[in-house]
Amino acid sequence: MSLRHADVVVFGSTKPDDVPVSWIKPGATIISCARDLLSVQCLYFSEKHNYGQQNNPAAEKTVGSLAVAMRMQNMVKNMERWIQSQQYRKWDLHCLKLQPLSPVPSDIEISRAQSPKAVDVLAKEIGLLTDEIEIYGQTKAKVRLSLLERLKDQPDGKYVLVAGITPTPLGEGKSTVTVGLVQALTAHLNINSFACLRQPSQGPTFGVKGGAAGGGYAQVIPMEEFNLHLTGDIHAITAANNLLAAAIDARILHENTQSDKSLYNRLVPVVNGMRGFSAIQLARLRRLGINKTDPETLTEEEISKFVRLDIDPSTITWQRVVDTNDRFLRKVTVGQANTEKGFVRQAQFDIAVASEIMAILALTTSLQDMKERLGKMVVANDKKGEPVTAEDLGVTGALAVLMKDAIKPTLMQTLEGTPVFVHAGPFANIAHGNSSVLADKIALKLVGEKGFVVTEAGFGADIGMEKFFNIKCRASGLVPSVVVLVATVRALKMHGGGPNVTAGAPLKKEYTEENLQLVADGCCNLQKQIQITQLFGVPVVVALNVFKTDSPAEVDLVCKMAKESGAFDAVPCNHWSAGGRGAVKLAQAVEKAANQKNSFKYLYSLELPIVEKIRIIAQKVYGAQDIELSPTAQSQVDRYTQQGFGNLPICMAKTHLSLSHQPERKGVPTGFILPISDVRASIGAGFIYPLVGTMSTMPGLPTRPCFYDIDLDPITEQVKGLF
């Protein structure tokens, strides 16, 4: 029995809510215990301090020494019982009933037709304590990280990744499968399960993409809450990102227009007759090798070293962000007002989710870890070629303050009332495209040993899954149990030589009529993606997302070929039209696969040179013959290696529309040389990202954006036109 991390334990017939607030130490864990300790109205205990006795002399008086001994015995007995009760148990979850309509209505109509449970009810059902959640409205709550400490000795549940084959531009429905699978597991098979999804960028919601909460009868609800501000995490990232950007340009301006002395007087001002360094300035002095704490004792040379970051403007890699599809910000010139004295420079805005801070949010494991990562972010080089970090700019603490709530995952629910975490949504090209480590970790504790956590990777398995294993699992230390590989007949036909699939344009007849030959030919891509999964030693279940135009023969053919290619199983799914009931077979297959022997391994060792790691991914995963670095790329590799960043994992920025770098090459391209045009680094997030061609980090608005259809009913307050 472990009481080490409980600062207050409450016994008796009382609920945690009944404990007077004054008794509780801030941050303490409160444990409500068995109700059968009749003689004790409210006894409380702390291993470190006995808070209660100071505040409750009445209770103290009534407790004699024999009574105390007896109660201690009772206490131990009840603690043991309590701890057992905290092991895996099936949740007593009230699932929401679904009555799917045909034809399937729009996503927003389906979402609105279902009344979600109050989120505090859901939180209680899955074992969260009252002080572990922060409610945001009726349907969203942030979950505090303290839960990880409370449940740290409990075993994790099974960990399932949903990945996909090389998609068409319309997508394969990974989010829908993720949601359908947990609806099946929990609402139909009565197995604890959690879906962990990425928070979508708000920009594309008003552009062309529409919502990202799943779809049809496999959705997170309310879908408009999911797709809009949610609990403000992306806004927090925007604020933190742009504070750092403003700090960089302002610092360059101030250094360019002030003497060392003037800079020093401003950076370390006399306040009430005294001059003192702030904590973050002392840290910088130590990094510079200046072991002084009295500002009056620095030599002129030391002052100059301290006050000048000497940023080389041409090396700035930190960009401003907005969460809007604003193509006119792709390349801009800043600093053109007279007040900036001619220090103009060319810069760009990215969409907010492309910020390195988003990648950090997705990979961090604690508040302390996040703060360290934020401080380590490299924003530019100085004129000697050394990296300049957020910590050098003195902004680490402020960034952490801006991100203090964003680090907590947001709890929502599926259409069938099962729990979902929505947390982080980094780009899948210049970042790793996976939802957060923290959401997965918390969910793995909450589902218990026999439960399932289903998380999702962006793009095809060659990109999202490879990064999930080599980057995310390395950061978390978690071992996946099963990969679910999502395929559609439509995408397989495209890989088999079918005509182009374009968003917005009607589908060609090859895709709406049976064509077994195209399917058979296209299964090469599915086969290759299964083989990629097998490189990592994890069993794979293929989930075929069935459309109404798919013929039974086509469906059977895909499942047969998938199994022949080494999949543990292959199952057609109908969650989009039928909800969790349509994914029960998939859930059963996943449960079976999770009990398979698992020999998970990373694809490469971090100690290998950067170029070698890139080559391994290109050859083993993409099937390239070799790689070719541009001179820029090579010099960046040399620089990062020299700066001591050579041991980071690799995060390839490659198109998701082909296994190769050429989007038009479908199926399984071979014999290609993968060109690496540039190599960049996200040091805080902790990866090097080679660019295979150019990556757009700012989408645009089309001629007729989604917003033409979006409206708000001012009477009912309902959102219309989101899809």
Which residues ranging from 275 to 304 are in contact with its own copies (CB under 8 A)?
A: 278-281
| Contact (CB, 8 A) for 375 and 387 | no
Minimum distance between the CB of residue 196 and its own copies, rounded to whole angstroms? 22
Nearer to its own copies, 345 or 585 (CB): 345
CB 494 within 8 A of CB 663: no
Cα 697 to the center of its chain, rounded Å: 18
Closest distance between its own copies and the C-beta of residue 62, in Å? 28
| Contact mark string toward its own copies, 198..237, x via CB under 8 A | ----x---x-----------------x---xx--x--xx-
Q: Does 250 bind its own copies (CB under 8 A)?
A: yes
213, two tokens: 């909460």
Q: Of residues 140, 144, 174, 467, which has the active-site annotation?
A: 174
DSSP 8-state code for residue 703: S
Q: Name the residue nearer to its own copies (CB basis): 335 or 663.
A: 335
- Min dist CB 721 to its own copies, Å, is 7
645 is catalytic: no
Catalytic, out of 318, 452, 459, 645: 459
Q: Which stretch binds its own copies (CB under 8 A): 583-591, 606-614, 677-685, 704-712?
A: 704-712
With the CA atoms of 210, 212, 217 and 223 taken in that order, what torsion angle do they form, in degrees rounded to the nearest 10?
-80
Active site annotation includes 459:
yes
Q: Please, what is the minimum distance in Å from the beta carbon of residue 545 to its own copies?
A: 21
Judge whether 209 counts as a catalytic residue: yes
Give the range of 56-64, 250-258, 635-643, 655-663 binding its own copies by CB under 8 A.
250-258
- The answer to whether 562 and 538 have CB atoms below 8 angstroms apart is no
b/e map 267-292, b = 16+ CB within 10 Å: bbeeeeeeeebeebbebbbeeeebee
Active site residue: 277, 306, 576, 645, which one? 576
Q: Rule CB under 8 A: say whether 499 interacts with its own copies.
A: no
Output 679-682 pairs: Cβ under 8 A, ≥24 positions apart.
679/610, 679/629, 679/632, 679/633, 679/636, 679/637, 679/640, 680/317, 680/430, 680/636, 681/378, 681/640, 681/645, 681/648, 682/356, 682/359, 682/377, 682/430, 682/431, 682/651
| Amino acid sitting at position 46 | S
Task: Report the alpha-carbon distance of residue 587 to residue 579 in Å, rounded.
Answer: 13
Question: Which residues in 92-151 contact its own copies (CB under 8 A)?
Answer: 115, 134-138, 142
State which amino acid sits at residue 504.
G
Indicate whether 323 belongs to the interface with its own copies (CB under 8 A). Answer: yes
Is residue 335 a contact point for its own copies (CB under 8 A)? yes
Q: One of 14, 29, 168, 176 is an active-site residue; which one? A: 176
Rounded-to-integer distance, Cα 9 and Cα 24, Å: 10
d(Cα 141, Cα 58) in Å, to the nearest integer? 38
Question: Could you tell me the smallest distance in angstroms from the CB atom of residue 433 to its own copies?
Answer: 23
CB of 292 to its own copies, least distance (A): 18
Q: Which stretch binds its own copies (CB under 8 A): 400-408, 449-457, 652-660, 672-680?
A: 400-408
Query: One symbol per residue from 401 to 440: x for binding its own copies (CB under 8 A), - otherwise; what is it?
Result: xx-xx-----------------------------------
**Strand order of the sheet with strand 30-32?**
30-32, 8-10, 44-45
Task: Closer to its own copies by CB, 27 or 385: give it.
Answer: 27
In sequence order, the 6+-apart residues with CB closer than 8 A to the CB of 167 are 459, 460, 491, 656, 657
Near its own copies in 587-626, by CB under 8 A = none
Minimum gap (Å) between residue 508 Cβ and its own copies: 15
Instruction: Assess 331 for contact with its own copies (CB under 8 A).
Output: yes
176 is an active site residue: yes
Catalytic annotation on 428?
A: yes
Residues 576, 218 contacting (CB under 8 angstroms): yes
Q: Is 144 a catalytic residue?
A: no
Residues in contact with its own copies, total (CB under 8 A)? 96
Whether 680 is a known active-site residue: answer no
Query: Burial level of 20, CB count in 10 A (0-12/13-18/19+)?
Result: exposed
Catalytic residues: 174, 176, 198, 209, 428, 459, 547, 576
